[in-house]
A and B are shown apart, each in its own frame.
Chain A
């Protein structure tokens, strides 16, 4: 037997980047506790559409926690109160009947609001373009075991590569800093031999790009690692710092 609950939603509504927004109250009735948070918004949107009102705009894509599209701040917590999940993986069974749920977009100067809960996270792509890649000459693929990589190193690189670029670290950071994102994208390559040749240029270019984007400065509050849906650790931020110092003081890259 499926349990259903009724919720009061206070959702941030904003028509565009330069318009003033405000919280509006909606009632989400007969919500199955097996639904995901996004499915609950779908139900609310159906009703809004039938009533001739604008549905709530929000980003979503895979709805299985791997694409990094979805995300909203639910009762003050990015991706909601559960640990290590994205908003699409947050189920309504974690809410009780009669709860009031406040839903806000990621708030950062670097993420302008497109509409309601949808924000423009294009700057994260710009940071990747600045150096989050390796340059490989075309040709025959080399033997898979030509460069031995210890399992421990491969695991660490994979932990960093788990970043889906959702921007929850920025949303969670009291300073709206993107340091966890930058550190994951630098670490996944800096740890592996394939990433070493361009390590110095990458660390400096990616940090400069992030600084220019209007994010705040990291002050080691650790909110990012607590809210990251992929539970990426701030040890990667320490690695980014080391990579940046090595690049700045030990290489000829300007």
Chain B
């Protein structure tokens, strides 16, 4: 087991952990977005989607625990990376200029990551850990998005998620060693597409609900 700890604790091992858990979150978001799109089918379609999802019972609990485990690994590893990378350059440059490699997404990774974590906690407290006995999920969601402050928070959060994913997606492939001259341009393209789809797909939902419910 010692070899496994050494492997995962190394700089490339931490990359592997970030890449695998990150791709896990992206797959989850694809499913989450697909489910949320039922909102466009109206109140009943959305409530029925939620009912069908919760009918899966123990599978939902297992998936939730899996996501929690992924979150713990991703956040803890990310925090270690942030701290170690700061330490690696004790005296900063007086003049700092990019050679053209960094993007807004890559340069803000630890900060957007922190905001996403705060948002996820906020989001779960609002829509997950609430008493749902005498109400429906659509009711909860439409009441929340009646407030423009909520709509704004969600839109800003989704832009930040999109930024995080724009670097995270292709970067995960690079970290896993999947960099090939024939496929990398495609992966880069998908990275931008996925972040735009997440940003607009999730970001427009609160607007739609506040306008039409």
Contacts and interface: CB of A to CB of B under 8 A. Distances in A.
B108 to A, nearest CB: 11
Which 6 residue pairs spanning A and B have beta carbons closest together?
Answer: A76-B97, A222-B101, A216-B88, A226-B99, A238-B179, A242-B177
Q: Is the interface of A mostly helix, strand, loop or mixed?
A: mixed
A220 B175 contact: yes
A75 B84 CA distance: 26
Interface stretch (B3-11, B142-150, B192-200): B3-11
A227 interface: yes
Contact of B94 (A102, A109, A214, A242): A102
B177 A109 contact: no
B135 interface: no
Nearest to A179: B11
Interface of A: 10, 12, 21, 23, 73, 75-78, 102, 104, 107-110, 172, 174-177, 179, 207-208, 210-211, 214-227, 234-235, 237-242, 244-245, 248-249, 254
Contact of A248 (B3, B87, B101, B107): B3
Given A107-B93, A223-B102, 6 more contacts: A12-B94, A77-B97, A175-B88, A217-B11, A235-B184, A238-B178
Contacts, number: 134
19 contacts: A12-B94, A23-B94, A107-B93, A108-B88, A175-B89, A176-B89, A177-B11, A211-B11, A215-B88, A216-B87, A217-B81, A218-B15, A221-B107, A222-B102, A238-B177, A238-B178, A241-B177, A249-B7, A254-B6
Contact of B174 (A75, A102, A237): A237
Given A102-B95, A172-B99, A219 B84 contact: no
Contact of A245 (B16, B88, B92): B16
B14 interface: yes
A227 B102 CA distance: 12
Contacts of A249: 7
Contacts of A12: 94
Contacts of A10: 94
B102 A174 contact: yes
Contact of B11 (A75, A207, A245): A207
A216 B93 contact: no
Interface in B78-109: 81, 84-85, 87-102, 106-107, 109
Given A23-B94, A220-B175, A241-B176, A110 B88 contact: yes
B177 A239 contact: yes
A219 B7 contact: no
Interface residues of B, number: 45
B181 interface: yes
Contacts of B96: 76
Contacts of B181: 235
A53 B167 CA distance: 48
Chain A CB within 10 A, most for which of B12, B90, B102, B177: B12
A179 B97 CA distance: 20
B14 A217 contact: yes
B171 interface: yes
Given A77-B99, A109-B89, A240 B12 contact: yes
